[in-house]
């Protein structure tokens, strides 16, 4: 206990602090002015993010239930950074929302849950973190209180995730039964690859694959994304996905490394199904949020591709890609939220001739989409390339060919949107959308990231150095 | 001579363009930028020749090397040899001409010139980079601007064409990616490190069994860019829907990216594979030449005519590459340069005519030589160049290809060569048909009488290209001296690999 | 030693003129350009005469009294590979000298003539630019020291002829003719090109001297090229025959002659220069250039030359008898005469008496240039006067245009081979050579000669006699303009003022007329012969009786038929009906070609190619796209929006994975 | 009793009865815990489930149902398919379990007395479960807030 | 009744699990779906307890896990029911089949 404890658990403690602060604000109900509240919150988040880079240490707490090291801290800071961006982008929406504080409380709770999940030392914590990151999120999906779709989305979210976590739990219980331990450090020793264990392992894997919306466990994604408020959607698509990916990177891979071949094949199959289905579904979407949902599914496929590498290089490329992905996807969502905020239009066809009145926003959207499609000079190109490179390391060139040819397919639907923005004619295109200062900042940061992250190799080098 | 300037100048130009307010300033900035590029490439040529004259025998001159992504052995590694310099010159000329031709682009002019500059960045970067990854990066940089250029400023079924072009080119680059990674993971500097460095790889040896897989992939990938036979269909639609400058870029530069890649990457890094598949290359090339020529015969739209003839002419490039004799390779490179200039000029002339008459249908045009002599003459000259008239660049290039191909004594190679030669007759037929019907003959439409001849910018553009064409056509030796030694290096590499 | 700078001027002057006039002509020196061109060409002509003098009488002969080839200069233009390069050079030997003299002189004549003929043309200066371009290329061709250099100028000649034929480019027929000329010759050039490739590959050089030297002496190259064979014929034969195809194309030998008659769409002086005197003999020149190889190493190829030439001459002569457009008649006669030259080369051997044919052929080339140019210019004058090419619009012109009449008559006599006119001597030599080497050839040749006499005089009579006089004949006949320029202005100009044309038009006629008379007396054999040694050509009266007699016969027949307007010709033509019609339709060659190109090439190859491209190749690509779209369309219902369906998929997925990895894909 | 209750619970068409069956099944499970002498868990089970969740459920049923009416019967195809899938899964798992030989842990049993549990739950040393405890508290808090925010009465649209 | 060992208990729990699954897949009433979830969770609980009892009595992992699961189940139920009620206000129905405004 003591100083040690505070340093190690800094991110979580910070978050808890903020949450309680917000609670107090809520109860005391002193500040009426929304904007000030918002700015306070954002500042605190910023502090939390910045704090993530100072005095980090390795170590474990609570008899190995909680572990932390530089990578985990880095991952946590990435997540909190993404959350910060989201809260900036959501500014306009939140200003109108009467439950703004609750929104933040729930949001941060989920973030906290993710942090615990990432640095969990045994299955109990892992599961707890997962639920902590899920249940409030379901509530968040419902935050467009008077919108029907919103609550339907929440329903779908809660029911399917409950089902998924049931599967996960069953798997965990079986693992417990077959290995007799829940602690990660002890588990690999007990893994003998027996059939029941395999069953358990697959159940566990699927429990997480669901959260990653790997095909065929992805069906909830589109509906939930469409229904939820844009802020939540972006949070779902970026942060919670990212968290799970981090769990994969820092926990599961090492955990089940003894099941190497099966693990690899499992990933390969998921990749193939995910990329294919993601592309095929995204091709004909008209609602832009659904579209982005499916595109994010495809992206997950590529992330897994990077993970097949199984070495540090793979993890590094995955983390790097997530950083890029946060920038690009949030930029896209930012524009979408602006538009849907002010015009309520969410269809790709509504974006026809968008460029006419919104030069900057048009370019932001376009760049974001290019980055998602992996087109240079955006950072997305580098991200994808590194993933694919990592994926090819095992010498599975068929998989490589599959992935790189699917990039072309995905380019098709990204270009559909670009085409709508720039090319398609429209007699009454969307008027000029206004955006408040924080949103501008957020988008600016995103654009900076989208362009600079690729050329400036420092970030990637930093990640590598941390992982080493 | 700092090569990075070649990338920076267009980039800066593009950025400055974005900050410009008025149409005039945009134009002039673009113009000045392109002129600087032209000057740079000229200086580069000069510097290169002096270096060589001073006896610098390094394979690549002016090379720079900065580690970029150290963890993945990715470097920013650039340098030039004669071949790339030829390509850079070509790019500079076409860029300048393109900017001038699209002087009157009012609609979204800022974006237009911005994208043009971006394109040229891609081209320059591709030609100077010696690191596979960097090269691939620049290759893809050049794709999306094309999509937008065609999609926004194009004509006809532009959306279809733009999408098709973008997707097919991306497909090509996907194949390239596979090939590159395949090569990358099979390089080994003894210490087990992989490398993207072309020169290093050429020193090492990729296992033949793998070359047999990756060579066709890589070659086809680049082949798509240079409109190799079954994958050429993006070219006609793309060219014909694109705005004038974009067509010039497409046919003039980006089709050459492919040829250059085939030569510099596919052949040079996987010589055994090249030997093993040369018959296929030649087959495809010959089909492209003949079939492209005959398909052209049937076209009614001037741009389609030139597009299909480009397919046919790029066939010569592949033929030269596939024949694998030094002369043929030199010929291929010359053909790339010459075709680039010539087709740019052709598209330029067509564009000028279209801008005035608002039709590209051969049947509707006629007698333009009377009302707009300058444009008409340019058109005819471009046509003559494309049918290989001595004194114009096309002749020197094609003849070099033929002589080189004939040096390959295989019966099959001979047959291919003869067929290729035969295509020049067909070329004459369709060129003369087009010229005869559109610029010669009686004036079909009375409105034409009112039309104005080219204005200064268009004249300047055409003259630029004409000068280049004549410079090659009248005095090909300088180009040969430039390209010869380096193609000799490639050739030696191929021969050492055995096979012949 | 004659200095090469000077000779280099010969081709370069016209080039300079072309550039100057081409660039500034339209604007600045509109009418001055004619004079400029003429002057520069005059200089060139003077230089070439001077060169000829220098060469033949001062420096040309070496100690052994043999005219040797002099390489005036040579510059590497395009280095293919060590040893094989295109050089720009100037070779001086008897035939090249003879050619530059002919070219410069005739061209000069045409320049002068055109000043009157093309006067008031809208594109006057352009016309002169093209003329200079052509002269330049022709000179480059004849002076070429490198087979590829010849090919280069060959193409240039072709294109300038294209430009000149299509000079009245707003006349569809002219454009069509120009296209036809270019494409047909281009097709022949294909043969030439491949021939060059073959020869170059085996000889390892493109330089004439080296090439000839390697193929005639018994070198390893020679063995290689004769050893290699394709379809049982040695590579050398292939090469030479292919090269000859190129020559045949330019020289309008059967079956590649179809472009020549149509080429008459161009301005008449152009026809005189290009399609009578100079360009069309390029083929002959080419064969002559490679003659040692033909003669010494490859007789079979030479036989091909013989028979093609022979047949063409007869064939053309027959057609010529039936044509009514005077220029076409002349065109066919040209073809026929070139046929003479060809088979003369074909039957010739190398060196000494054997080489008579060679010398004769060159001689005929020389004289023919003179009188054929004269004929064309005369015809030009006539057309200029009556504004029509058709015989029926003419007749009885001898009064109204005396000079033309006389000169034309001289030319006709010359071509008919009546002594002492130029044609007589050269033709006699040819016949003699034929007589010595091959009787069949001789018989055909002599018949052809007779027919020649007949149709030439048919032409002559129906132009200048036939009707009483032009005045009433053409009363009220206002013919459609042959050329682009203004009708009335020109008619006045033609009739009232000068009668038969300006001085500039008459002067060349007279000069050429004199040459047509005198050229025959040049002891040609002393200068030009197959092996460079002087060749004494003795002349026996007895031998020449037969040809001359036959020629006279032909003339009398023509006189009987055409001197006065009457119905004999029509009656005869009806009598021979079919043949006449066939000949009149030029034996349907054009139709056949048309069928092949239009029907076969376009419909059988072109259309399918385009169709395949649009539907199959492109179809596949589009198909893949549509497939993907449809597939995604069919998949969409899976996303039914019902949680339980999702859960169902989910659960099935779980079971599937479990089964797959537990039972099937275990490691 | 457990199984029976469960089956009835998922099949009965009267939602209210279904809830009651569920109650039975849960109580049965509690009994099982007793029998395994894990009294603490049994207690928790009864308190939380029987006392909490089921009541909650029943309330919500009252809120959302005019009592006594039948629910719509599930679609035949769907239920058949689900039955097959479930059965398949059941079979699969059982076979695997039977195949699997469970290894028995050697160490001596810890007495699962309330005392022990309490000690461990709040200790941070070895076998200490303080952290999960905390986290759960956060979770409960959050879900409470969420539930309130969502379920709070908004003006029903006319 | 004869001695009940681990296998029998497992059979019960597994049966419970899949019954729950069946219920979840078939019941068209949201609340009953929730009930099925509870069933599944209970089966998991039984697993944990049983394993803990019979195999690894050394530590109380299973027991605590069960406690946690129960708590979480409560929380989940709370939120879910809140959502359901919210949805009911809009749909006037808690038939899950009706909640399909978003599809494809």
Higher pLDDT, A166 or C67: A166
pLDDT value at residue C496? 41
- In three-state secondary structure terms, A61 is strand
Question: Are C658 and A223 within 8 A, CB to CB?
Answer: no
pLDDT value at residue C479? 42
- In three-state secondary structure terms, D124 is coil
- Judging contacts by C-beta atoms under 8 Å, the chain A residues touching residue B72 are 313, 386, 389
Determine the average pLDDT of the residues in A214-229.
89
Determine the average pLDDT of the residues in B187-216.
86
pLDDT value at residue D154? 57
Among C644, C651, C655, beta carbon nearest to D92: C655
Q: Which of B240, B293, B327, B399 to mutate to test the interface with C (most CBs of C within 10 A)?
A: B399
Chain D interface residues facing chain C, Cβ-Cβ under 8 Å? Answer: 78, 81-82, 85, 88-89, 92, 96
CA distance D40 to chain E (A): 9
- Judging contacts by C-beta atoms under 8 Å, the chain E residues touching residue C643 are 33, 96, 99
Determine the average pLDDT of the residues in B169-183.
92
CA distance E97 to chain C (A): 6
pLDDT value at residue C489? 41
- Judging contacts by C-beta atoms under 8 Å, the chain E residues touching residue D61 are 31
Among B133, B144, B213, beta carbon nearest to A370: B144
- Judging contacts by C-beta atoms under 8 Å, the chain C residues touching residue D89 are 651, 654-655
CA–CA gap between residue B57 and residue B47 (Å, rounded): 14
pLDDT value at residue D124? 60
CA–CA gap between residue A226 and residue B245 (Å, rounded): 42
* Closest C-alpha to C79, from B477, B330, B405: B477
Helix axes C282-289 and C147-165, enclosed angle (nearest 10): 180
Choose the weakest-confidence range: B60-74, B155-169, C62-76: C62-76
Q: Of all helices (H) and strands (E), which one includes residue D100?
A: none
Average pLDDT, chain D: 78
Nearest CA in chain C to D75: C644
Average pLDDT, chain E: 84
Instruction: Give per-residue pLDDT as tens, A269-280.
Output: 999 999 999 998
Which chains does A contact via 3+ CB–CB distances below 8 A? B, C, D, E
Average pLDDT, chain C: 81
Confidence of residue B367 (pLDDT cuts 50, 70, 90): confident
Confidence of residue C354 (pLDDT cuts 50, 70, 90): confident
Confidence of residue B215 (pLDDT cuts 50, 70, 90): very high
pLDDT value at residue A177? 86
pLDDT value at residue C119? 79
Confidence of residue D108 (pLDDT cuts 50, 70, 90): low
Confidence of residue A357 (pLDDT cuts 50, 70, 90): confident
Interface of A with D in 108-127 (CB under 8 A): 109, 112-113, 116, 124-125
Question: Are B295 and C613 within 8 A, CB to CB?
Answer: yes
* Whether residue C599 has pLDDT greater than 80: no
Instruction: Give per-residue pLDDT as tens, B281-337.
Output: 999 999 999 888 888 888 888 889 999 999 999 999 999 999 888 889 999 999 999
Helix axes B132-141 and B143-153, enclosed angle (nearest 10): 10
Are the C-beta atoms of residues A274 and A215 closer than 8 Å to each other?
yes
pLDDT value at residue A447? 93
pLDDT value at residue D156? 44
DSSP class of residue C533 equals B
- In three-state secondary structure terms, C71 is strand
* Whether residue C667 has pLDDT greater than 70: no
Confidence of residue C230 (pLDDT cuts 50, 70, 90): confident
What are residue B61's DSSP bridge partners? B80
pLDDT value at residue D51? 81
Question: Are D89 and E50 within 8 A, CB to CB?
Answer: no
pLDDT value at residue D31? 87
* Whether residue A236 has pLDDT greater than 50: yes
Choose the weakest-confidence range: B439-448, C171-180, C258-267, C295-304: B439-448
* Whether residue E80 has pLDDT greater than 60: yes
DSSP class of residue E95 equals B
Instruction: Give per-residue pLDDT as tens, B246-274.
Output: 999 888 888 899 999 999 999 889 988 88
* Whether residue C481 has pLDDT greater than 60: no
Choose the weakest-confidence range: C92-106, C150-164, C597-611, D106-120: D106-120
Choose the weakest-confidence range: A20-34, C162-176, C251-265: A20-34
Question: Are E62 and A176 within 8 A, CB to CB?
Answer: yes
Choose the weakest-confidence range: A364-368, C55-59, C466-470: C466-470
Determine the average pLDDT of the residues in C423-430.
84
pLDDT value at residue C4? 64
Write the CA distances from A154 to A225, B52, D155, integer angstroms: 10, 72, 20
Among E21, E28, E101, beta carbon nearest to C651: E21
CA–CA gap between residue B361 and residue B197 (Å, rounded): 48
- Judging contacts by C-beta atoms under 8 Å, the chain D residues touching residue A196 are 96-97, 99-100
Any E CB within 8 A of A155 CB: yes
* Whether residue C478 has pLDDT greater than 60: no
Determine the average pLDDT of the residues in C383-408.
79
DSSP class of residue B392 equals S
* Whether residue B405 has pLDDT greater than 70: yes
Entry field: residues in chain C: 667
Confidence of residue A129 (pLDDT cuts 50, 70, 90): very high
pLDDT value at residue A320? 93
CA distance A17 to chain C (A): 37
Confidence of residue A319 (pLDDT cuts 50, 70, 90): very high
Average pLDDT, chain A: 87
* Whether residue C417 has pLDDT greater than 90: no
- For C212, counting Cβ atoms within 10 Å of its Cβ (0-12 exposed, 13-18 middle, 19+ buried), the class is buried
User: Which runs of consecutive H residues, i.e. helices, occur in D100-152?
Assistant: 114-122, 130-151
Instruction: Check contact B-C (3+ Cβ pairs < 8 Å).
Output: yes
Are the C-beta atoms of residues C466 and C565 closer than 8 Å to each other?
yes
Determine the average pLDDT of the residues in C508-536.
79
CA–CA gap between residue C110 and residue C270 (Å, rounded): 8
Q: What is the CA D115 to chain-centroid distance, rounded? A: 25
Instruction: Check contact E-B (3+ Cβ pairs < 8 Å).
Output: no
Any C CB within 8 A of E99 CB: yes
Q: How many CA atoms lie within 13 A of A276 on its CB side?
A: 13
Determine the average pLDDT of the residues in D54-83.
77
Q: Which of A65, A152, A207, A225 to mutate to test the interface with E (most CBs of E within 10 A)?
A: A152
* Whether residue E96 has pLDDT greater than 80: no
Write the ipTM: 0.86
Q: What is the CA B78 to chain-centroid distance, rounded? A: 20
Question: Are E14 and D107 within 8 A, CB to CB?
Answer: no
Choose the weakest-confidence range: B427-441, B467-481, C460-474: C460-474
Entry field: residues in chain A: 468
Nearest CA in chain A to B154: A423
Q: How many CA atoms lie within 13 A of B459 on its CB side?
A: 8
* Cβ neighbours of C353 (radius 10 Å): 11
CA–CA gap between residue C423 and residue C507 (Å, rounded): 21
Higher pLDDT, A1 or A415: A415
Interface of A with D in 208-237 (CB under 8 A): none
Model's pTM, two decimal places? 0.89
Q: Which of A9, A161, A195 to mutate to test the interface with D (most CBs of D within 10 A)?
A: A195
Write the CA distances from B426 to A27, B387, C527, integer angstroms: 87, 9, 43
* Whether residue A32 has pLDDT greater than 90: no
Any A CB within 8 A of B8 CB: no
pLDDT value at residue D73? 72
CA distance E2 to chain C (A): 33
DSSP class of residue C99 equals H
Among D81, D85, D96, beta carbon nearest to C655: D85
Higher pLDDT, D63 or A171: A171
CA distance B101 to chain C (A): 22
- Judging contacts by C-beta atoms under 8 Å, the chain E residues touching residue A129 are none
Cα angle: B8, vertex B11, B12; to 5 degrees: 85
Determine the average pLDDT of the residues in C262-268.
85
Determine the average pLDDT of the residues in B35-57.
90
Question: Are B178 and A401 within 8 A, CB to CB?
Answer: yes
Higher pLDDT, C156 or C391: C156
pLDDT value at residue D128? 67
Burial string for A417-450 (b: 16+ CB within 10 Å, else e) reads bbbbbbbbeeeebbeebebeebbebbbebbbebb
CA distance E3 to chain A (A): 21
Are the C-beta atoms of residues B71 and A313 closer than 8 Å to each other?
yes
Identify whether A325 is preceded by a cis peptide bond (ω within 30 of 0): no
Q: Answer left, alpha or beta for residue C639, where phi above 0 means left and psi between -120 and 50 means alpha.
A: beta
CA distance C285 to chain B (A): 20
CA–CA gap between residue E26 and residue E20 (Å, rounded): 10
- State phi, psi for B363 to the nearest 5 degrees: -65, -30
Identify whether C433 is preceded by a cis peptide bond (ω within 30 of 0): no
Determine the average pLDDT of the residues in B135-158.
89
Among A393, A423, A464, beta carbon nearest to B152: A423
CA–CA gap between residue C272 and residue C267 (Å, rounded): 9
Instruction: Give per-residue pLDDT as tens, A68-96.
Output: 888 888 888 899 999 999 999 988 888 88
Q: Which of D150, D154, D155 to mutate to test the interface with A (most CBs of A within 10 A)?
A: D150
Any D CB within 8 A of C658 CB: yes
Number of C:D CB contacts under 8 A?
Answer: 16
* Whether residue C492 has pLDDT greater than 50: no
* Whether residue D125 has pLDDT greater than 80: no
pLDDT value at residue A329? 94
Any A CB within 8 A of C652 CB: yes
Q: Which of B328, B389, B429, B433 to mutate to test the interface with C (most CBs of C within 10 A)?
A: B429
Instruction: Give per-residue pLDDT as tens, B121-130.
Output: 999 999 999 9
């Amino acid at each position: 206990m003591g100083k040690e404890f505070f340093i190690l658990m800094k991110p979580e403690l910070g978050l808890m602090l903020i949450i309680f602060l917000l609670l107090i604000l809520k109860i005391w109900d002193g500040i009426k002015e929304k904007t000030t509240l918002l700015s306070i919150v954002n500042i605190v988040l910023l502090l939390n993010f910045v704090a993530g880079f100072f005095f980090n240490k390795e170590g474990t707490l609570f008899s190995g239930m909680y572990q932390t090291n530089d990578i985990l801290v880095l991952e946590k800071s990435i997540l909190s950074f993404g959350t910060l961006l989201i809260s900036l982008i959501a500014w306009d929406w939140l200003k109108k929302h009467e439950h703004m504080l609750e929104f933040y409380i729930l949001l941060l709770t989920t973030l906290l849950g993710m942090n615990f999940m990432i640095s969990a030392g045994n299955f109990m914590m892992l599961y707890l973190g997962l639920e902590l990151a899920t249940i409030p999120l379901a509530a968040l999906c419902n935050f467009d209180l008077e919108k029907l779709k919103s609550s339907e989305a929440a329903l779908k979210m809660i029911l399917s995730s409950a089902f998924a976590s049931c599967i996960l739990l069953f798997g965990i219980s079986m693992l417990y039964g077959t290995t007799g331990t829940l602690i990660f450090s002890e588990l690999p020793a007990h893994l003998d690859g027996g059939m029941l264990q395999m069953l358990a392992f697959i159940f566990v894997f699927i429990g997480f694959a669901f959260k990653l919306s790997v095909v065929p466990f992805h069906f909830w994604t589109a509906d939930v994304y469409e229904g939820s408020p844009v802020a939540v959607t972006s949070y779902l698509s970026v942060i919670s996905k990212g968290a799970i990916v981090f769990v994969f990177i820092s926990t599961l891979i090492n955990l089940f490394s003894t099941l190497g071949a099966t693990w690899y094949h499992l990933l390969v199959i998921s990749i193939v199904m995910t990329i294919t289905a993601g592309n095929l579904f995204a091709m004909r979407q008209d609602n832009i949020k659904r579209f982005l949902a499916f595109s994010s599914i495809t992206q997950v496929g590529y992330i897994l591709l990077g993970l097949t590498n199984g070495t540090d290089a793979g993890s590094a490329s995955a983390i790097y890609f997530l950083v890029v992905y946060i920038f690009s996807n949030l930029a896209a969502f930012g524009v979408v939220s602006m538009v849907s905020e002010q015009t309520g239009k969410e269809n790709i066809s509504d974006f026809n001739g968008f460029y006419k009145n919104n030069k900057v926003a048009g370019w932001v959207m376009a760049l974001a989409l290019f980055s998602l499609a992996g087109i240079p000079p955006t950072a997305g190109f580098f991200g994808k390339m590194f993933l694919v490179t990592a994926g090819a390391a095992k010498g599975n060139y068929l998989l490589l060919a599959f992935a790189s040819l699917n990039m072309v397919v995905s380019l098709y639907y990204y270009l559909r949107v670009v085409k709508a923005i720039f090319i398609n004619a429209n007699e009454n295109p969307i008027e000029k959308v206004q955006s408040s200062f924080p949103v501008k900042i957020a988008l600016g940061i995103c654009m900076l990231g989208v362009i600079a992250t690729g050329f400036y190799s420092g970030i990637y080098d930093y990640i590598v150095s941390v992982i080493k | 001579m700092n090569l990075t300037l070649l990338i920076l100048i267009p980039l800066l130009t593009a950025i400055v363009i974005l900050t410009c307010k008025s149409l005039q300033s945009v134009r002039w900035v673009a113009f000045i930028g392109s002129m600087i590029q032209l000057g740079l490439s000229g200086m580069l040529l000069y510097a290169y020749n002096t270096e060589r004259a001073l006896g610098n025998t390094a394979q690549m001159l002016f090379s720079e090397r900065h580690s970029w992504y150290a963890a993945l052995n990715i470097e920013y590694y650039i340098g030039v040899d004669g071949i790339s310099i030829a390509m850079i010159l070509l790019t500079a000329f076409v860029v300048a001409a393109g900017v001038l031709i699209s002087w009157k682009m009012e609609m979204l002019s800022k974006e237009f010139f911005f994208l043009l500059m971006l394109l040229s960045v891609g081209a320059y970067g591709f030609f100077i980079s010696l690191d596979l990854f960097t090269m691939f990066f620049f290759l893809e940089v050049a794709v999306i601007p094309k999509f937008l250029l065609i999609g926004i400023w194009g004509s006809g079924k532009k959306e279809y064409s733009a999408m098709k072009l973008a997707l097919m080119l991306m497909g090509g680059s996907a194949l390239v990616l596979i090939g590159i990674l395949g090569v990358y993971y099979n390089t080994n500097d003894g210490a087990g490190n992989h490398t993207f460095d072309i020169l290093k790889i050429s020193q090492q040896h990729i296992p033949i069994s793998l070359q047999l897989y990756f060579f066709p992939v890589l070659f086809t990938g680049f082949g798509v860019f240079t409109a190799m036979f079954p994958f050429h269909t993006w070219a006609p639609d793309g060219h014909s829907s694109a705005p004038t400058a974009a067509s010039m870029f497409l046919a003039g530069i980006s089709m050459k990216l492919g040829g250059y890649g085939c030569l510099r990457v596919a052949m040079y890094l996987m010589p055994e594979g090249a030997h093993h598949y040369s018959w296929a290359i030649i087959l495809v090339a010959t089909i492209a030449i003949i079939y492209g020529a005959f398909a052209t015969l049937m076209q009614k739209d001037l741009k389609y005519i030139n597009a299909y003839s480009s397919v046919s002419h790029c066939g010569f490039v592949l033929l030269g590459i596939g024949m694998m004799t030094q002369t043929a390779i030199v010929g291929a490179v010359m053909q790339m340069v010459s075709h680039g200039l010539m087709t740019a000029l052709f598209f330029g002339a067509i564009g000028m005519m279209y801008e005035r008459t608002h039709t590209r249908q051969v049947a509707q045009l006629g007698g333009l030589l009377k009302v707009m002599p300058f444009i008409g003459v340019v058109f005819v000259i471009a046509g003559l160049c494309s049918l290989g008239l001595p004194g114009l660049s096309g002749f020197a290039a094609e003849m070099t290809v033929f002589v080189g191909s004939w040096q390959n004594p295989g019966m099959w190679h001979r047959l291919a060569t003869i067929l290729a030669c035969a295509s020049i007759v067909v070329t004459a037929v369709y060129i003369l048909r087009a010229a005869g019907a559109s610029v010669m003959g009686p004036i079909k439409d009375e409105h034409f009488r009112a039309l104005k001849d080219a204005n200064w910018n268009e004249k300047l553009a055409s003259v630029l290209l004409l000068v280049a064409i004549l410079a090659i056509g009248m005095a090909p030796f300088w180009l040969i001296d430039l390209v010869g030694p380096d193609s000799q290096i490639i050739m030696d590499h191929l021969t050492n690999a055995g096979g012949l | 030693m004659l200095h090469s700078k000077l000779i280099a001027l010969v081709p370069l002057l016209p080039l300079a003129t072309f550039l100057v006039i081409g660039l500034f002509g339209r604007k600045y020196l509109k009418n001055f350009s004619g004079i400029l061109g003429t002057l520069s060409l005059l200089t060139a002509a003077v230089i070439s005469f001077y060169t000829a003098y220098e060469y033949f009488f001062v420096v040309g002969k070496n100690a052994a009294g043999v005219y040797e080839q002099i390489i005036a200069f040579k510059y590497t233009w395009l280095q293919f590979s060590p040893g094989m390069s295109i050089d720009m050079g100037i070779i001086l030997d008897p035939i090249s000298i003879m050619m530059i003299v002919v070219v410069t002189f005739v061209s000069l004549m045409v320049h002068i003539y055109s000043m009157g003929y093309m006067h008031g043309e809208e594109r006057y200066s352009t016309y002169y630019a093209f003329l200079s371009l052509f002269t330049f290329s022709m000179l480059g061709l004849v002076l070429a020291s490198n087979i590829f250099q010849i090919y280069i100028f060959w193409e240039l000649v072709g294109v300038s002829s294209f430009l000149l034929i299509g000079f009245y480019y707003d006349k569809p027929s002219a454009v069509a003719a120009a296209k036809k000329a270019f494409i047909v010759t281009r097709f022949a050039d294909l043969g030439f090109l491949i021939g060059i490739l073959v020869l170059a590959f085996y000889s390892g050089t493109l330089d004439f001297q080296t090439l000839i030297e390697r193929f005639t002496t018994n070198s390893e190259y020679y063995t290689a090229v004769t050893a290699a064979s394709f379809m049982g014929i040695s590579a050398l034969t292939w090469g030479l025959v292919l090269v000859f195809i190129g020559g045949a194309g330019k020289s309008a030998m059967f079956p590649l002659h179809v472009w020549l008659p149509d080429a008459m769409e161009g301005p008449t002086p152009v026809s005189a220069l290009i399609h009578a005197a100079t360009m069309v003999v390029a083929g002959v020149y080419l064969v002559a250039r490679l003659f040692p190889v033909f003669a010494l190493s490859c007789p079979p190829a030479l036989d091909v030359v013989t028979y093609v030439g022979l047949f063409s001459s007869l064939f053309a002569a027959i057609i010529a008898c039936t044509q009514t457009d005077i220029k076409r008649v002349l065109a066919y006669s040209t073809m026929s005469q070139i046929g003479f030259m060809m088979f003369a080369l074909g039957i010739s051997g190398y060196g000494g008496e054997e080489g008579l044919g060679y010398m004769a052929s060159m001689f005929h080339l020389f004289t023919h240039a003179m009188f054929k140019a004269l004929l064309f210019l005369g015809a030009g004058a006539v057309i200029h006067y009556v504004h029509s090419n058709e015989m029926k619009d003419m007749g009885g012109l001898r009064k109204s245009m005396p000079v033309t009449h006389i000169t034309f008559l001289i030319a006709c006599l010359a071509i008919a081979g009546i002594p002492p006119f130029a044609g007589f001597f050269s033709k006699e030599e040819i016949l003699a050579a034929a007589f010595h080497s091959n009787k069949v050839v001789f018989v055909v040749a002599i018949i052809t000669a007779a027919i020649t006499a007949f149709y030439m005089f048919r032409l002559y009579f129906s132009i200048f006699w036939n009707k009483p006089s032009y005045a009433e004949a053409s009363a009220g006949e206002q013919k459609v303009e042959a050329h682009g320029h203004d009708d009335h202005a020109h008619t006045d100009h033609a009739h009232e003022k000068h009668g038969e044309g300006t001085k500039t038009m008459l002067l060349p006629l007279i000069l050429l007329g004199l040459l047509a008379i005198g050229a025959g007396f040049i002891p040609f054999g002393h200068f030009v012969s197959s092996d460079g040694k002087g060749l004494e050509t003795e002349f026996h009266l007895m031998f020449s009786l037969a040809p001359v007699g036959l020629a006279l016969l032909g003339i009398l027949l023509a006189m009987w038929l055409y001197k006065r307007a009457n119905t004999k010709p029509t009656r005869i033509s009806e009598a021979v009906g079919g043949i006449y019609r066939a000949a009149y339709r030029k034996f349907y060659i054009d139709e056949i070609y048309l069928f092949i190109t239009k029907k076969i090439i376009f419909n059988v190859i072109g259309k399918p190619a385009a169709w395949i491209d649009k539907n199959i190749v492109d179809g596949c690509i589009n198909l893949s796209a549509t497939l993907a779209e449809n597939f995604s369309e069919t998949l969409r219902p899976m996303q039914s929006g019902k949680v339980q369906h999702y859960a169902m998929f989910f659960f099935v997925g779980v079971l599937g994975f479990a089964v797959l990895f537990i039972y099937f894909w275990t490691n | 009793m457990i199984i029976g209750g469960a089956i009835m619970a998922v099949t009965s068409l009267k939602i209210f009865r279904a809830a009651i069956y569920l109650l039975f099944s849960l109580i049965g499970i509690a009994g099982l815990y007793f029998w395994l002498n894990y009294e603490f868990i049994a207690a928790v089970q009864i308190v939380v489930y029987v006392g909490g969740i089921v009541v909650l459920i029943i309330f919500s049923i009252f809120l959302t149902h005019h009592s006594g009416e039948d629910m719509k019967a599930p679609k035949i195809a769907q239920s058949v398919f689900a039955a097959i899938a479930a059965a398949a899964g059941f079979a699969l798992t059982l076979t695997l379990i039977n195949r699997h030989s469970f290894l028995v842990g050697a160490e001596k049993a810890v007495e699962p007395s309330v005392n022990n549990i309490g000690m461990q739950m709040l200790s941070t040393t070895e076998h200490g479960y303080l952290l999960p405890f905390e986290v759960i508290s956060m979770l409960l808090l959050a879900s409470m807030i969420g539930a309130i925010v969502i379920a709070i009465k908004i003006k029903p649209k006319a | 009744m004869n001695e009940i060992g681990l296998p029998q208990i497992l059979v019960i729990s597994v049966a419970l699990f899949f019954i729950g699954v069946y219920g979840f897949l078939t019941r068209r009433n949201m609340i009953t779906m929730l009930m099925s979830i509870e069933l599944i969770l209970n089966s998991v609980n039984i697993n944990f307890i049983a394993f803990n009892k019979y195999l690894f009595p050394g530590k109380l992992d299973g027991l605590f896990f069960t406690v946690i699961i129960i708590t979480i189940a409560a929380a989940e139920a709370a939120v879910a029911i809140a959502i359901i009620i919210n949805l009911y206000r809009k749909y006037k129905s808690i038939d899950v089949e009706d909640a399909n405004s978003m599809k494809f």
